[in-house]
Structure formats: C-alpha cells, structure tokens
A = this chain, B = another copy of it.
C-alpha cells in the first residue's frame, strides 16, 4: 500500500489497519518520521514537501518491489505527506510484515533510506530565521550506501 498525499498521517490507525492486512505474519516493524521543532538553524515552524507525480510514486513503488524481492516480506506500507507539515506532525510512516523479525527490520530500514535519499521529494524548512531548502545529509547518503 502506497499513498503520497497532503492528508495528515495517523501512525496508530495505519498500524492497526496494517496488522489486519498482514494477518499471519509474525513480525511487524513500523517507522514514523516526525517533524522536529529543532532544526539546523533555529526553531522549525513547518516543513513544505514537494513531490513530482507520478515519478515520486513510481520510484517508491519500485523501492517497495525491490524490498519484496530482497526480503521475504509479506506486506509493506508507505504513506508520505506532501504540502505543509507542522512541527510534531508525522511526515512519513512505513510498515513491513514478515514471518521473522530480521526481514521486517531490514526492509523497513531499506525503505527509509530510499525515502530519505532517493525518493523524489523536495523539502523546505520554515524556521523563525527564515526559509531554506534542505537536501539529504552525508549520514543519509552513507546509510543508503549500505544496501548496494
């Protein structure tokens, strides 16, 4: 299940629905990415996320397909927000389900690395000191390199 939208993300509700969808799995891992109020410079009021459809969705779907081929996961879910997202709100939710825990952990980790460094989004941070476009950092790229 993949959704890129301006709708708020309710991680708890998504996890509940995912549990039903993944019935029979033994291990579910979820990741919630939340907009922090502390940024590189000053306090964050909100982020603005821009996507380019359908390239954004196609790329995430391809990453989900790759995860399914690399690990024996039975279900995967990615929901990502675009538009204006306030500090404290959830920007991304990923869940993976498999028979055993290792596949779920690794697939969720892999999907997040994709989303942070390769997914087609542009991110603008509005802080009390002004606006700035944020691009992935070195640690994000290093994380993503682990799966090559």
A interface vs B, CB < 8 Å? 11-13, 15-16, 19, 23-37, 88, 99-102, 104-105, 108-109, 112, 116, 139, 143
Contact = CB atoms under 8 A, between A and B. Distances in A.
A39 B33 CA distance: 34
Contacts of A108: 29, 105
Given A27-B31, A109-B105, A99 B36 contact: yes
A143 B28 contact: no
A32 B36 contact: no
Given A12-B15, A36-B99, A29 B27 contact: no
Nearest to A13: B12
A100 to B, nearest CB: 8
A99 B24 CA distance: 32
